[in-house]
Structure 1
Amino acid sequence: MRSAHRLASAALFLLGLATAAHAADEVAVAYQTSVDPSKVAQADGLYEKATNAKINWRKFDSGADVITAVASGDVQVGYVGSSPLAAAVSRNLPVVTFLVAAQLGSAEALVVRNGSKIEKPADLVGKKVAVPFVSTTHYSLLAALKHWKIDPAKVQIVNLRPPEIIAAWQRGDIDAAYVWDPALGKAKESGKLLTTSAEVGKWGAPTFDAWIVRKDFAEKNPQFVEQFAKVTLDAYAAYRANPKGWVGNTANIEKTARITGAKPEEIAGLLEGNIFPLAKEQAALLGKPTVRAVADTAVFLKDQGKVDQVQSDYGPYVSPSYLKLAASK
């Protein structure tokens, strides 16, 4: 597996080779399997209708892989967690965060396998814990270990993507995993929760997912980004207005399950596990709160040896300017 440093080096190398942004009539968008209301809009083709563009949706298993694709120019818009985002912009990746996709809670969790003899945090010492490196769950795992006063060097932390975590879990190769769905759901079938990102956030290490866009593409195609943001926020508004009604619509559940791979019966709980900010909330978040969160994450990653430097200002990597259409409703 590639280390965080080698992945970052590869991303920067690819960035140097990046070609000009694609025309807005055809756009590559990187998404992940996180459960959120906008998956219905994705399934229904609403993004294509709003932007009048052909969108090539590309599924990725980790934010680190999304960052590599964005850096290479193969992808113009991408869905990433706050940890890979902080690592990427600390290395000057020319992107801007235009939406906070989700404020993460119990939808990301540390699960310990039945029979692993892990009953309390101290029992993690000497155990094999899987997590996608440079992901939000990696950040949350390290923050949890710090909170529990456990030296990460005394835990066997292994770098596995979610599909690999599922396979390793089923083989009994790992004792625990900090991950999101569908791998989280698979792990919970024969394991128990030790902590969640909601709890870790209360300990001072909140995490979030974000939609980012290459700056060169956004500058040439601001209307695409604005329409993309509007479709996403309309989907969030529909869910937030009536969560029970939204979940009670079997079509919404079927479409979300099909795109994410999550179990239909678990989707309601996963949606409750995160907060999906509306337009007015986005306007407040996409300023000092997000800039501070990215900066704090970057400092933590530097302390952990995951990045070599911290930017003096993360403001240029966050912008509320693409909320115009959503805010004008």
Structure 2
Amino acid sequence: MPPMTSPVRRRQILGIVAATGISVCLAPLVRASETKTLRIGYQKSSTLITLLKTWGTLEKRLTPVGITVSWHEFTSGLPLLEALNVGSVDVSADVADTVPVFALAAGARLTYLAQEAPSPTAQALVVQAGSPIRSVADLKGKRVAVTKAAGSHYLLIALLEQSGLKFKDIEPAYLSPADGRAAFERGAVDAWVTWDPFLAGVQRQSQVRIVSDGRNIADYQRYYLVSTPYAQANPQVLNIIFDELKKAGVWVKRNPKEAAGLLAPVWGLDAATVELANSRRSCDVRTVTAAALAEQQKIADTFFGEGLVPKKVNTTEIIIWKPAL
């Protein structure tokens, strides 16, 4: 166990940190030695983490070794990773493959814990059933709702490029999933790009048509991340989280109806909607390899080219967690 930091020494450290502008990197490390609480951030779309929370799985494994678990819900991935970066949470449930790119470009110190295998049909561009928009090319000059930094953001850019359009050819409306759906259903936007379970929800509850999903254009791999100081200090906790995520992923695919029944009341959705959403997610949790980050680099380059991130991101510099043998 590292030695305790005295109040005077701690003030000295924080003074240096403030003067040098590296509080994002050091503040979580100071706090990590003072707490035995694992703080997990998640979203409504965090299928596997939601199951672990509902079952109390992590509490059962961590409480005996003196670690409690606290849960913190976020409306989307970018604020979740911002919280991870500044030390408000220790571990992030799955976020779309685009979200870490924004965080890394902003200087976040993150470690990649795991990824889910591709789920390209779990996000899509939708329009009202009676819309004159029949193809992506018809979006020129149209107002499109999208959540900034979400996987749907990259999907929209990629679809436009494939159709010979640029992002500036449309009018983006950066909205949260809830606000995006509201704007879409009242006709304030012409199209909406979103992901499951929001996609499944609007499909089942409104008259909509999918113009295109991510097949052959955006793999949509979701990533689990950890603050680097926490990852360095707590490797055994990460082994447990990874192990339980893999088990949960296998269980969802083997028990789709039971999984939907458990998640439906938690998400405030009907079971059929949840089952549709889960059917399009791979839920196949695996370790991250350098080779698997090729699309991360492509996303990073695309966002930089569009002026959406302030600097280039080099995925060869990403810190990857490896499970203990």
Same fold at TM > 0.5? yes
| SS of aligned partner of 1:106 | helix
| SS of aligned partner of 2:38 | strand
Equivalent residue pairs, number: 297
1:170-209 mapped onto 2 (5 Å cutoff): 170-188=185-203, 189-197=206-214, 199=215, 202-203=216-217, 205-209=218-222
Output the TM-score relative to the length of structure 1: 0.82
User: Once the two structures are aligned, what percentage of the paired residues are identical?
Assistant: 22
1:235-250 mapped onto 2 (5 Å cutoff): 235-240=248-253, 242=254, 246-249=255-258
> What is the alpha-carbon distance in structure 1 between the residues aligned to residue 166 and residue 83 of structure 2?
33
Q: Larger RCO: Structure 1 or Structure 2 (Cα < 8 Å, ≥ 6 residues apart)? A: 1
> What is the alpha-carbon distance in structure 2 between the residues aligned to residue 144 and residue 181 of structure 1?
18
Aligned to 1:229: 242
Aligned to 1:259: 266
Instruction: Give, in angstroms, the shift of residue 131 of structure 1.
Output: 0.6
Residues 29 and 18 of structure 1, relative CA distance in 2, 3 Å threshold:
same
> What is the alpha-carbon distance in structure 2 between the residues aligned to residue 14 and residue 66 of structure 1?
18
| SS of aligned partner of 1:82 | coil
Instruction: Give, in angstroms, the shift of residue 317 of structure 1.
Output: 2.5
Aligned to 1:210: 223
Instruction: Give, in angstroms, the shift of residue 96 of structure 1.
Output: 0.6
| SS of aligned partner of 1:118 | coil
Report the more deviating stretch, 290-299 or 310-319: 310-319
2:304 counterpart (295, 298, 302) = 302
| SS of aligned partner of 1:133 | coil
Instruction: Give, in angstroms, the shift of residue 253 of structure 1.
Output: 1.9
Instruction: Give, in angstroms, the shift of residue 154 of structure 1.
Output: 1.9
Aligned to 2:37: 26
Larger Rg: 2
Aligned to 2:4: none
Aligned to 2:7: none
| SS of aligned partner of 2:121 | coil
Instruction: Give, in angstroms, the shift of residue 221 of structure 1.
Output: 1.3
Instruction: Give, in angstroms, the shift of residue 270 of structure 1.
Output: 1.8
Kindly indicate whether the alpha-carbon contact (under 8 Å) linking 2:157 and 2:166 is maintained by their aligned counterparts in 1.
no
Instruction: Give, in angstroms, the shift of residue 36 of structure 1.
Output: 3.1
Kindly indicate whether the alpha-carbon contact (under 8 Å) linking 2:25 and 2:109 is maintained by their aligned counterparts in 1.
no
Question: Is 1:77–2:88 an aligned residue pair?
Answer: no
Q: What letter corresponds to residue 151 of structure 2 in structure 1? A: T
Report the more deviating stretch, 46-55 or 252-261: 252-261
Residues 89 and 173 of structure 1, relative CA distance in 2, 3 Å threshold:
same
Residues 261 and 109 of structure 1, relative CA distance in 2, 3 Å threshold:
farther
Kindly indicate whether the alpha-carbon contact (under 8 Å) linking 1:33 and 1:261 is maintained by their aligned counterparts in 2.
no
Aligned to 1:5: none
Superposition RMSD in Å: 2.3
Aligned to 2:16: none
Question: Is 1:15–2:59 an aligned residue pair?
Answer: no
Residues 21 and 143 of structure 1, relative CA distance in 2, 3 Å threshold:
farther
Kindly indicate whether the alpha-carbon contact (under 8 Å) linking 1:35 and 1:270 is maintained by their aligned counterparts in 2.
no
1:41 counterpart (43, 52, 75) = 52
Q: What letter corresponds to residue 48 of structure 1 in structure 2? A: E
Unpaired runs of at least 5, structure 2 = 1-20
Residues 24 and 48 of structure 1, relative CA distance in 2, 3 Å threshold:
farther
Alpha-carbon displacement from aligned partner over 1:271-293 (angstroms, at most 9, x marks no partner): 22122225xxx24xx11233322
| SS of aligned partner of 1:208 | coil
1:61 counterpart (49, 69, 75) = 75
Aligned to 2:62: 51
Aligned to 2:157: 142
Aligned to 1:103: 118
